[in-house]
Structure 1
Amino acid sequence: MLKVVRYIPWRQLGYVCLGLLVLVGIGMLMSLVKKKDTAQACVSMKVIVEGKETFIDQHDISDLVNKTFGNVVGKPLKDIPTDRIERALMELPYVSSAEIYADMDGVLQIVVQQREVILRIVNGAGKEYYIDTKGAKVPVTLKYVPHVLVANGNIREGYEKPLDTIRTQLVKDLVTIVEQVKDDPLWSNQIVQLYVDDQQDIEIIPRVGTQPLVLGNAAKLDEKLDRLEIFYKNILPKVGTGAYEKVNVKYDGQIICERRDGWMLDSLQMKLKMNN
């Protein structure tokens, strides 16, 4: 009998027993936590609004929750319809995402991410709306005016309801231009506004100089901006900011400068060799 006992792997057996005790302890602890959660009342509500815009704030979110679902503070956590609250928050046109959860202390945490807008459209009928980074239309509000580029002029696409998608190629081109220049150190500072003329050509209204810069559309945008940079570095310093009525780079390999008396400066209406 003693010989049998001697060969029992006591160390491994001890590890097994210890593991079983840990599992039992964890199970008991989880059951206690679950029981506490079912009985835990909401002691407070904490709202966190994330994002660079300030279309909405903590008070807007808490007011919506309390007015739509009643005062959640004091209610058992299990009775708070978090899924319904999330869906209600996602219906707000300025909200990109929403997450709701309760912590161990009974605090209802509401985390809201705002939409980020990059362009403000004022169409030909005077209707205004924003375009966000996901290509959705966001309504204009007097509460907050973000610092973004404005595009106006002969734009036909309107606004019917929040978060509609873009329909026309023209507005898509306007968004493409904004996305291209918003982080560029030169053009983010030089472009004041975008304008669409009667021929549906997109024009840049510059900060330096009085002449509009005609892009046409967003096709080959890199090349067009390169030619405009040549204009600013090599041509404008020689002729002055008021020499031209309009500068056009919509045609491949050309910079067409129109003087204020209406005739073209032929020496600039040339094909450019970009490698030179």
Structure 2
Amino acid sequence: MRSGFWHRINWRNLAYGIAALAVLGALISLMGFISMKSSEQACSTVRVIVLGNEAFIEQKEILATLVEKYGELQGRTLESIPIHDMERDLRQIPYVFSATVTTDMNGMLTVRVRQREAVVRIIGNGGPDFYIDQEGLKMPVSLKYVPRVPVANGYIAEPYNGVLDTMHGQVVKDIFETARFINADSLWSSQVVQLYVNQQRDIELVPRVGKQQIILGNADSLDRKFEKLRLFYSKIVPKTGIGAYKSVNLKYAGQIVCERDEKFNPEDNIVTKDTI
């Protein structure tokens, strides 16, 4: 009877089970040791990393903000440093898109901050200037850094209270979409230097080369409208010269409406069918 009982035991599985328990026990002991060591580990170094293409904020400003609120960080135990509170406070800075704070076993505290990226600067009627970032949020203008983005001005009545805020009016939403389209194309980002909103609330493009009034209208069908503008520069301008027209209207579907400058005199208006 006894020999049969021992024969029925799967010794290999039993050995695996014992080994697994031993490994688990070792891991629990190691985790306990690490936890005890991390609670005693002092912060030896603070590293601040600012990510993004802009320069709204600097490393020293981030560090100064944290030290002002939480005191000197170096020399304190890592366990006593409220990293989640720090992340929350850094995200309150209008120019910060995201923030993470981490520590390691060597006592290094690492702060990673990603900046917001501006798409366009808005100069409104009477209110403060502001930028719109890639997420479509309004943020304040910096006194020390000016990003190279299109400027929009004219008849823009958009409220702004100096903090992160969403866009309200359709005109500003159309400006944002237009500026984002321009920034994504190297040709248009080089040629279009400014956006202007006229009294009819139409967006006009201010070109780097030429003095034409280029009427875009709203942000509908931007691909189509800019292809018509490309046709104007590539097909019409070589035949007439860059100064032949005082306005180019892209608002109407299927055509480009070009108004000649008076000094050229052949016709008051030319309508070129859109053959793109």
| TM-score grouping bracket, smaller chain normalisation | over 0.9
Question: Residue in 2 aligned with 1:225?
Answer: 226
Q: For each residue in 1:216-245, what CA deviation from the matched residue of structure 2 results, as whole angstroms up to 9, or x when unmatched?
A: 111222221121111111111111111111
Paired AA for residue 97 in structure 2:
S
Question: Residue in 2 aligned with 1:147?
Answer: 148
Matches of 1:110 and 1:186 in 2, distance apart? 38
- Give how far 1:258 is off: 1.6
- Partner SS state of residue 166, structure 2: coil
Distance change (3 Å), C-alpha of 1:267 and 1:66 = closer
- Give how far 1:114 is off: 0.7
Paired AA for residue 170 in structure 2:
Q
Paired AA for residue 57 in structure 1:
E
Q: Does 1:15 align with 2:38?
A: no
Q: Does 1:269 align with 2:253?
A: no
- Partner SS state of residue 179, structure 2: helix
Question: Residue in 2 aligned with 1:253?
Answer: 254
Aligned length: 274
Q: Does 1:104 align with 2:117?
A: no
Question: Residue in 2 aligned with 1:192?
Answer: 193
Matches of 1:149 and 1:40 in 2, distance apart? 49
Matches of 1:208 and 1:123 in 2, distance apart? 25
Q: Kindly, what percent of the aligned residue pairs are identical?
A: 45
Question: Residue in 2 aligned with 1:128?
Answer: 129
Question: Residue in 2 aligned with 1:202?
Answer: 203
Q: For each residue in 1:97-132, what CA deviation from the matched residue of structure 2 results, as whole angstroms up to 9, or x when unmatched?
A: 111121111211111111111111111327311000
Aligned CA RMSD, in angstroms, stands at 2.0
Distance change (3 Å), C-alpha of 1:254 and 1:3 = closer
Q: Does 1:61 align with 2:65?
A: no
- Give how far 1:95 is off: 0.4
- Partner SS state of residue 268, structure 1: strand
- Partner SS state of residue 141, structure 1: coil
Matches of 1:219 and 1:117 in 2, distance apart? 22
Question: Residue in 2 aligned with 1:79?
Answer: 80
Paired AA for residue 86 in structure 1:
E
Paired AA for residue 104 in structure 1:
M
Q: For each residue in 1:127-148, what CA deviation from the matched residue of structure 2 results, as whole angstroms up to 9, or x when unmatched?
A: 3110001111111112111111
Contact 1:258 1:264 in 2 (8 A): no
TM-score by length of 1: 0.92
Contact 2:49 2:112 in 1 (8 A): yes
Matches of 1:96 and 1:221 in 2, distance apart? 28
Paired AA for residue 141 in structure 2:
V
- Partner SS state of residue 143, structure 1: coil
Matches of 1:3 and 1:249 in 2, distance apart? 94
Q: For each residue in 1:41-80, what CA deviation from the matched residue of structure 2 results, as whole angstroms up to 9, or x when unmatched?
A: 2112111111111111110110001111100111122211
- Give how far 1:181 is off: 2.3
Contact 1:257 1:264 in 2 (8 A): no
TM-score by length of 2: 0.92
Paired AA for residue 211 in structure 2:
T
- Partner SS state of residue 27, structure 2: helix
Q: Larger deviation: 262-271 or 63-72?
A: 262-271
- Give how far 1:3 is off: 6.6
Structure 2 segments unaligned to the other structure (5+ residues): none
